[in-house]
């Protein structure tokens, strides 16, 4: 075991006495070995997590394990390389994560560790380290379907009308005909959000792919879609939302980037994967290759909380290449579909859960970032049960 000495402040890193930060063996472990990883989860890390949650700031400020190694394991997403538990969309599932197993997924545990480290330095050296402030809330939109009925062409419209009739969805048929005859604004129209809410710092992530089972939006050559993106680009940040089959396919991803470049005439720098499909290290390597600076995919579809244990941005470390990268990860904490489809939360449950997560983000100067879809209009059923919650984190214009 080697040790490194930190000159200022004076804390020995890797020593074993009470004045030192302990060096966790995993920090020296270059191999991605599942059995070793599991062993660590079962022993030191889980003990550390319990300790951190229950006694984070108790008087005895000697940490029970290596804080840096702990943060590194969470942020690098080590477990996603070695644990193969995925859902039907090949996504790492929240219940497989050790943060979930230790029941701390709803806590920004790495941020707590950071605070703890700051307290430790202060107690030992009287040096005050500042914890930078990030924006407190951040609404971001995924635009999978720019309009529900409009600008789809006669074939898709006729098919839609036929489907409404066969499935007896007469309310939807009525709405469809009203929209198509210009007697109602399309319910997914982005202007409806812009009219109601202060969305000045939002990001719109656009899906631009040929239609397939999972990517059902408008074709990227659709002139109305292009003009919508161009208009939004004048005021808002626009990101790319690569389609379902891009997480391990650089060519497909690059094609979709080209569509956006052709529309905006600038290379996209912000990304979020459609369906949150993310595979380590392939997806992030592809994004780096294509010039992406920030990725907003880090969070779970099946649960709320802190996938990497943090509410703060961090740089992705490529574990297989053992190298730092310039890709900044911007985690999100909550998604509309998670509340509605996966957790099936009612109004009160959603409000309580969001309030807890928000206050935890606040306690670490982090960001309560959430994903909403324009296709989940908050003023209409079934989404309106979340409107009171939504309105607490997004300023209304009225």
Which helix (H) or strand (E) segment is 141 a member of? strand 137-143
Phi, psi of 192 (to 5 degrees): -65, -35
Shortest distance, CB of residue 123 to Zn ion, whole angstroms? 46
Which residues between 260 and 289 bind Zn ion (CB under 5 A)?
A: 274
Q: Do residues 263 and 229 lie in contact, with contact meaning Cβ atoms separated by under 8 Å? A: yes
How far is residue 77 from each of residues 95, 320, 368, measured CA to CA in Å? 14, 12, 20
Interface region with Zn ion, contact rule CB under 5 A, candidates 66-74, 126-134, 142-150, 381-389: 142-150
Is the Cβ of residue 296 or residue 317 nearer to Zn ion in the bound state?
A: 296
Is the Cβ of residue 206 or residue 368 nearer to Zn ion in the bound state?
A: 206
Is the Cβ of residue 112 or residue 259 nearer to Zn ion in the bound state?
A: 259
Closest CA to 19 of 147, 125, 95: 125
Shortest distance, CB of residue 146 to Zn ion, whole angstroms? 12
Number of residues that bind Zn ion (CB under 5 A): 3
Characterize the bridge pairing of strands 294-295 and 314-318: unpaired
Verify cis geometry, omega within 30 degrees of 0, for the bond prior to 72.
no
Q: How far apart are CA 117 and CA 68, in angstroms?
A: 9
Which helix (H) or strand (E) segment is 68 a member of? helix 67-76
Shortest distance, CB of residue 369 to Zn ion, whole angstroms? 16
Interface region with Zn ion, contact rule CB under 5 A, candidates 141-149, 175-183, 218-226, 381-389: 141-149
Indicate the residue whose CB is closest to Zn ion: 274
State the DSSP code for 96. Answer: G
Interface region with Zn ion, contact rule CB under 5 A, candidates 109-117, 143-151, 213-221, 278-286: 143-151
Is the Cβ of residue 189 or residue 215 nearer to Zn ion in the bound state?
A: 215
Closest CA to 91 of 280, 272, 257: 280
Interface region with Zn ion, contact rule CB under 5 A, candidates 122-130, 136-144, 250-258, 379-387: 136-144
Shortest distance, CB of residue 217 to Zn ion, whole angstroms? 9
Among 66, 111, 144, 336, binds Zn ion (CB under 5 A): 144
Interface region with Zn ion, contact rule CB under 5 A, candidates 18-26, 30-38, 129-137, 144-152: 144-152
Is the Cβ of residue 141 or residue 149 nearer to Zn ion in the bound state?
A: 141
Closest CA to 370 of 306, 283, 278: 306
Is the Cβ of residue 92 or residue 98 nearer to Zn ion in the bound state?
A: 92
Is the Cβ of residue 138 or residue 274 nearer to Zn ion in the bound state?
A: 274
Is the Cβ of residue 100 or residue 286 nearer to Zn ion in the bound state?
A: 286
Shortest distance, CB of residue 241 to Zn ion, whole angstroms? 5
Beta bridge partners of 142: 205, 373
Characterize the bridge pairing of strands 11-13 and 4-6: antiparallel
Closest CA to 311 of 92, 131, 43: 131
Shortest distance, CB of residue 188 to Zn ion, whole angstroms? 13
Q: How far apart are CA 54 and CA 68, in angstroms?
A: 19
Shortest distance, CB of residue 214 to Zn ion, whole angstroms? 9
Query: Tokens representing 244?
Result: 């379902």
Shortest distance, CB of residue 96 to Zn ion, whole angstroms? 22
Is the Cβ of residue 112 or residue 257 nearer to Zn ion in the bound state?
A: 257
Among 44, 102, 111, 142, binds Zn ion (CB under 5 A): 142
Q: How far apart are CA 178 and CA 172, in angstroms?
A: 10
Q: Which residues make up the interface to Zn ion (CB under 5 A)?
A: 142, 144, 274
């Amino acid at each position: 075991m080697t040790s490194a000495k930190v000159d200022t402040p004076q804390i020995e890193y890797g020593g074993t006495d009470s004045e030192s930060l302990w060096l966790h063996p995993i920090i020296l472990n270059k191999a991605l070995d599942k059995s070793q990883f599991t062993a660590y989860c079962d022993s030191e890390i889980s003990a550390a997590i319990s300790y951190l949650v229950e006694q984070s700031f108790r008087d005895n400020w000697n940490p029970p394990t290596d804080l840096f190694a702990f943060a590194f394991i969470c942020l690098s997403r080590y477990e996603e390389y070695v644990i193969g538990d995925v859902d039907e969309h090949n996504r790492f599932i929240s219940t497989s994560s050790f943060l979930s197993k230790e029941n701390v997924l709803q806590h920004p545990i790495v941020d707590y560790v950071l605070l703890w480290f700051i307290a430790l330095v202060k107690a030992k050296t009287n040096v005050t380290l500042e914890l930078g402030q990030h924006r407190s809330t951040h609404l971001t939109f995924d635009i999978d379907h720019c309009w529900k009925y409009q600008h789809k062409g006669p074939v898709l419209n006729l098919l839609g009308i036929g489907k409404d009739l066969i499935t007896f969805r007469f309310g939807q048929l009525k709405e469809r005909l009203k929209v198509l005859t210009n007697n109602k604004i399309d319910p997914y129209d982005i202007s409806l959000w812009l009219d109601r809410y202060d969305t000045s710092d939002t990001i719109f992530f656009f899906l631009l792919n040929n239609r397939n089972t999972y990517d059902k939006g408008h074709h990227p050559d659709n002139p109305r879609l292009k003009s919508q993106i161009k208009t939004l680009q004048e005021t808002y940040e626009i990101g790319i939302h690569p389609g379902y089959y891009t997480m391990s396919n650089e060519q497909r991803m690059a094609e979709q980037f080209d569509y956006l470049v052709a529309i905006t005439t600038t290379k996209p720098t912000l990304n979020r994967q459609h369906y949150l499909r993310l595979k380590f290290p392939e997806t992030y390597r592809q994004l780096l290759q294509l010039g992406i600076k920030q990725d907003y995919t880090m969070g779970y579809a099946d649960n709320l909380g802190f996938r990497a244990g943090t509410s703060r941005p961090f740089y992705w470390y490529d574990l297989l290449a053992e190298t730092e990268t310039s890709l900044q990860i911007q985690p999100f904490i909550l998604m509309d579909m998670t509340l509605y489809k996966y957790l099936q939360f009612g109004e009160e449950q959603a409000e309580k859960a969001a309030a807890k997560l928000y206050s935890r983000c606040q306690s670490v100067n982090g960001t309560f970032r959430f994903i909403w879809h324009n296709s989940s209009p908050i003023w209409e059923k079934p989404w309106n049960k979340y409107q009171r919650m939504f309105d607490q984190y997004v300023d209304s214009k009225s």
